[in-house]
A and B are shown apart, each in its own frame.
Chain A
Amino acid sequence: MGRILVVTSGKGGVGKTTTTANLGMALARLGKTVALMDADFGLRNLDLLLGLENRIVYTALEVLAGECRLEQALVRDKRQPGLALLAAAQNRNKDAINPDQMKLLAEQLAGRFDYVLIDCPAGIESGFRNAIAPAQAAIVVTTPEVAAVRDADRVVGLMEAAGIRNSRLIVNRIRPGLSQVNDMMTVADVREILAIPLLGVVPDDERVIVATNRGEPLVLDKNLSLPGMAFHNIARRLEGEKVEFLDLDAPYNTLLGRLQRALQRKIF
């Protein structure tokens, strides 16, 4: 049986879909078979990021309605044969599917793939409940901002209550440099609050946005960019390899930087 992981965050726009797409590709490049499930019904965009939008014929809803077989609804990626996408219906609302149905689909996929990655919608309502229902573990994505971390913390707590106790953390969009000291937290600050193991750190990089718009995940690049490398490293860590974290905080750790942060420590 494959591993079922949910990629979640609480807050929207922090990089869940970006992470799901790149991690899926990176795992496939490591020779794993991977199914990506878009759980963001009504607001799907995982297919866009993967550049698979125009190949979708069936979605999860047709599978559940018995209108097609699961195999027919899976969109295989030509660039990475190990990777497949199960799309969400764009024109339905979040209540088009329930947690038991999500479980059913995810477990069927887990019978055929090494990994099932579920792209969770923002919020903590039914879409979130659906997405976490089948998950054995979670990848919590946050940016180093107070509001995002607060929501991530909420989500970790809700998942703990639902019996998912092995969440791991990705801090996305890290912008090294003292100019950001004012409104950004450091990775250490984020870890201190969330107190779950760190799975990876990803720099803020406009190449991520460019790749998103092109539908070509960064990890496909021949010469890996820094964010591409970050996602590649995360995939290796999921596979149990010990890989050093990119030191994106390096510019912070000057004496001056630390002093500034100490002076600006605020909790309100």
Chain B
Amino acid sequence: MGESGSLGTLLGLFLEPTEQGIRLHIPPAQTGLDWSVLWPLVEQCLQWTTPWWPPDTAVELLALDRLLDSRHLHDLATLLRGRGLILARVTTDRRQTAVAAATAGYSVEQPPPPQATWSNGRPAGAPPLYIRHTVRSGAEVNHPGTVVVWGDVNPGGRIVAQGDIFIWGHLRGVAHAGCTGDGQRFILALRMDPTQLRIAGHVARPPANPAPDACPEVAYQTAGQIQIVPAWDFVKSHPGGYAE
């Protein structure tokens, strides 16, 4: 994904999987972002996200304080349909948006769901994203929180997270944790053979010949360098994910 994709993520524009389907977060109006500026970012966000969802997945639009009329909703529904998504529900605290959505036949939710969670005073961003399949070549996952992959990340696959990255499988692609600058984030993989690792602004290419029987490892940043250590050692030196 290019720069504006990361910009979108940074602004709070992203898809969050939920039990019912997918929740589309868009930056609230209080950010000062006009719809005309936002719309191309929404288009890019959807076009650049490799669909991980089954066809005809229901989408909840988290519009919050944004004023949207029937045309905005129509454009969005058309864009989503092109990506195998169906706009089903609009969550808003603006009466006018609620009326437009209800008139267009969407179900409307008035009170917004809980905001992003915080832990130990550090913002953890969006709720963790669970990916329950192999991230294959050409797929890129962008998430403004922690990403958990139950599967491999293959060569040519890419995970970019504002939070930590847990890979319950073999990492052979690219992983970028703390992508908006949090150097305290880490990357864990059951097997670590990445093409490239990034934590915040630091980049590392691992040695060309990893040990054949590698154990689970953690990559973290210390003194401006990315270190890779056995996960068990990391747990002991970083209880709770922090340096002691």
What are the residues of chain A within 8 A of B9 when measuring CB–CB? Answer: none
A267 touches B208 (CB 8 A): yes
B210 and A153 contact, CB distance less than 8 A: no
Contacts of A193 in B (CB 8 A): 152, 154-155, 172
Which residues in A have their C-beta under 8 angstroms from that of B209?
A: 263, 265-266
The contact of B137 among A157, A266, A268, by CB within 8 Å, is A157
Q: Please, which residue of chain B has its CB at the minimum distance from the CB of A268?
A: B208
Q: Is A204 an interface residue (CB 8 A)?
A: no
**A193-B154, A265-B210, A266-B209 are known contacts. Are A157 and B50 too (CB-CB below 8 A)?**
yes
Report whether over half of chain A's contact residues are helix, strand or loop; otherwise say mixed: helix
Residue B238 CB within 8 A of the other chain: no
CA distance A265 to B207 in the complex (A): 11
A265 to B193, CA, bound (A): 10
Residue A76 CB within 8 A of the other chain:
no
B112 within 8 A of A: no
Counting chain B residues whose Cβ lies within 8 A of the other chain, the interface size class is 20 to 34
CB-CB under 8 A from A146, the residues of chain B are: 155
A132-170 toward B: CB 8 Å interface, digit per residue (1/0)? 000000000000001000110110111011110000000
Q: How distant is the Cα of A150 from the Cα of B173 in the complex, in angstroms? A: 11
Is the pair B152, A154 in contact by a Cβ cutoff of 8 Å? Answer: no
B139 at interface by CB-CB < 8 Å:
yes
Which of B28-36, B51-59, B87-95 is the contact stretch?
B51-59
Q: Which residue of B lies closest to A159 (CB)?
A: B136
Q: Check if B210 sits within 8 Å of A151, measured CB to CB.
A: no
CA distance A160 to B172 in the complex (A): 20
Interface residues of B in 173-212 (CB under 8 A from A): 193-195, 205-206, 208-210, 212
Q: Are B210 and A157 in contact (CB under 8 A)?
A: no
Contact indicator A262/B154 (Cβ below 8 Å): no
CB <8 Å contact, A153 and B193? no
Q: Does B138 contact A (CB under 8 A)?
A: yes
Within 8 A of B (CB), among A234-268: 262-263, 265-268
CA distance A195 to B135 in the complex (A): 11
- Is B208 touching A153 in the complex (CB atoms < 8 A)? no
Within the assembled complex, what's the spacing in Å between the Cα atoms of A262 and B135? 25
* Least CB distance, B19 to chain A, in whole angstroms: 20
Of residues 169 through 217 on chain A, the ones whose CB sits less than 8 Å from some CB of chain B are 192-193, 195
Measured CA separation A151–B156 after assembly (Å):
9
What's the minimum C-beta distance from B15 to chain A, rounded to whole angstroms?
14
Which residues of the partner chain B approach A192 to less than 8 Å between Cβ atoms? Answer: 170
Q: A157-B50, A265-B210 are in contact. Are A150 and B137 (CB under 8 A)?
A: yes
Cα distance A158–B51 in the bound complex, in angstroms: 9
Task: Verify A265–B212 contact, CB threshold 8 A.
Answer: yes
Q: Are B137 and A151 neighbours in the complex by a CB distance under 8 Å?
A: yes
Q: Which residue of B lies closest to A151 (CB)?
A: B137
In the complex, which residues of chain B have a beta carbon less than 8 angstroms from the beta carbon of A160?
A: 133, 136
List residues of chain B with CB within 8 A of the CB of A265: 209-210, 212
In the bound complex, CA of A22 to CA of B54 (Å): 34
Shortest Cβ distance from residue A43 to the other chain B in the assembled complex, whole angstroms: 23
Shortest CB distance A266–B (Å): 5
Return chain B residues, CB-CB under 8 Å to A157: 50, 134-139
A163 near B55: Cβ-Cβ < 8 Å: yes
The residue in chain B whose Cβ has the minimal distance to the Cβ of A265 is B209
Q: A266 — which chain B residues lie within 8 A by C-beta?
A: 208-209
Residues of A in contact with B (beta carbons under 8 Å apart)? 146, 150-151, 153-154, 156-158, 160-163, 192-193, 195, 262-263, 265-268
28 of the cross-chain contacts (CB-CB < 8 Å) are A150-B137, A150-B155, A153-B137, A154-B136, A154-B137, A154-B138, A154-B156, A156-B136, A157-B50, A157-B134, A157-B138, A158-B138, A161-B50, A161-B51, A162-B55, A163-B54, A192-B170, A193-B154, A193-B155, A263-B209, A265-B209, A265-B212, A266-B209, A267-B193, A267-B194, A267-B208, A267-B210, A268-B195
Closest 9 CB pairs of A and B: A157-B136, A153-B137, A154-B138, A154-B137, A161-B51, A153-B136, A150-B137, A267-B193, A153-B154
